[in-house]
Structure 1
Amino acid sequence: MRQNTSFAMTDVGEIRRLIDQNPWVTIVSDADQGLVASHYAVLLDEGRDDLTIVGHVGKPDDLVHGLGERELLVVVQGPHGYVSPGWYGDVQSVPTWNFVSAHLSGIPELLTPEENLEVLERLVARFESGMPQPRLMWQPPNDPDFVRRLERGTVGFRLTPTRVVGKRKLSQNKPDEVVETVIAELETGGSPYADPRLPGEMRRDFETRKAAR
């Protein structure tokens, strides 16, 4: 991802927030057969305060990616959406796409079966927490044999990235009144190609920048 000083996101806390709120990531590696991509959920490593993430892949994706042997690129995609040039007023302009994203690169560490079980348990608990009647991993009708067979079909990993590129492109290069207009249009559904969380992300960034002036 090409970096741009105006849109750079370097604050570790903000990138952690991005990962936590957007755990469904794309994992890319340069494999023997060429570039390969997979999609999995990840979590921040609860024992760290940096950008270390934990997750798993299903077998044989571990072999396809050469997990633990070669560099991975993990793409975290936050809120994004189309911005119409009509929202800028009667000036020369072109369409654009606002977004928040981060790329984490490094060689992952493979987890032990017990560590992998802990990660799988955390993943289930995280995403079942919003269900009316959460079904946790060890809860009946699952039994320990079933859960351990499930674990053996996956490979867990921990990635402490050695390269991080974070980008927050939210109309920071536009006048305040234009930013307000874009936010208002997104809030009212003016873009059919926008994550509904995008205007809130823009508003948060806009208020932070104004407070820092």
Structure 2
Amino acid sequence: MFIPKYFKVTDVNEVRDFMQQNSFGTIVTTKKGRPIATHLPFDLSKVGDDYYIKGHMAYGNPQWRTFETNEEVLVMYQGPHAYISSSWYAHENVPTWNYQAVHVYGVASILSEEELKEDLTKMLEKYEKHRENPVLWNTLSPELLEKELKGVVGFKIKVTEIQAAYKLSQNRNDEDYRHIIEKLNEEADPNSHEVANVMEKRSES
């Protein structure tokens, strides 16, 4: 990913938090030179000094079979994004787009059944535990779980490289920066409000 110096993020903790908050991403591999992509929820964990991304996909999805032949896979995460009108600047310029994106490269391997169960249990707890009637691993019938497990393939990716770009008008002067936030908050698009919120928080840190 091309990242101009203004927008490069190197704080591992900051990027880790971003990946956990924007956990629905895209995994990309290749088969005979052609890219294949699947959109999935992912989980990030740390074992010793290494980071791992875990997930699962349908058994019928042929992408998991490419893990053996791909030296590296790519997982992409995206946060809020918004159009930035150049009419919001105090000087003449061209429009642009603000966004947050993280690309993660790594080596993929298939999870054992026990590892898959552990991963699915953790995912259910993450997304269900706060609900009034949570659907957790131990609340589902063994018959249903056995059936569903046959239909998915779990995988983990040992992270080898992380590239993070937060293009949030860091290259603009203070006056333009504040005006961009004001104008984004006036937009009807919820994404614009999210970008404004991110920009506001970063200006306070």
User: When the two structures are superposed, what TM-score results if normalisation uses the length of structure 1?
Assistant: 0.86
Residue identity opposite 2:176 in structure 1: V
Give 3-state SS (helix, strand or coil) of 1:162's partner. strand
- CA separation of 1:50/1:198 partners in 2, compared to 1, >3 Å: closer, same or farther? farther
1:133 deviates by: 2.4
Contact 1:29 1:65 in 2 (8 A): no
Matches within 5 A, 1:109-120: 109-120=109-120
1:65 deviates by: 5.1
Other-structure match for 1:192: 189
1:20 deviates by: 0.7
Other-structure match for 1:165: 163
- CA separation of 1:40/1:165 partners in 2, compared to 1, >3 Å: closer, same or farther? same
Contact 1:83 1:95 in 2 (8 A): yes
Residue identity opposite 2:199 in structure 1: M
- CA separation of 1:148/1:47 partners in 2, compared to 1, >3 Å: closer, same or farther? farther
Matches within 5 A, 1:51-200: 51-61=51-61, 63=63, 66-70=66-70, 71-89=72-90, 91-139=91-139, 142-188=140-186, 190=187, 192=189, 194-200=191-197
More displaced stretch, 35-44 vs 154-163:
154-163
Kindly indicate whether residue 16 of structure 2 is the aligned counterpart of residue 16 of structure 1.
yes
Q: Which structure features the higher share of strand residues?
A: 2
- CA separation of 1:62/1:106 partners in 2, compared to 1, >3 Å: closer, same or farther? farther
Give 3-state SS (helix, strand or coil) of 2:182's partner. helix
Contact 2:64 2:153 in 1 (8 A): no
Stretches of 4+ aligned residues off by more than 6 angstroms: none
1:114 deviates by: 0.7
Mapped to 2, the partners of 1:135 and 1:111 lie a distance apart of: 23
- CA separation of 1:201/1:185 partners in 2, compared to 1, >3 Å: closer, same or farther? same
Other-structure match for 2:26: 26
1:33 deviates by: 6.7
1:136 deviates by: 1.6
1:3 deviates by: 1.8
1:19 deviates by: 0.6
1:129 deviates by: 3.4
Unaligned stretches of 5+ in structure 1?
209-213
1:32 deviates by: 2.9
Residue identity opposite 1:2 in structure 2: F
The total of aligned residue pairs comes to: 204
RMSD, matched Cα: 2.1
Deviations 1:116-173 (A, max 9, x none): 011111112212234332222331xx31132122122111112122122110110000
Deviations 1:189-213 (A, max 9, x none): x2637353211211122223xxxxx
Unaligned stretches of 5+ in structure 2?
none
Contact 1:58 1:154 in 2 (8 A): yes
Other-structure match for 1:211: none
1:48 deviates by: 5.6
Identity, in percent, stands at 31
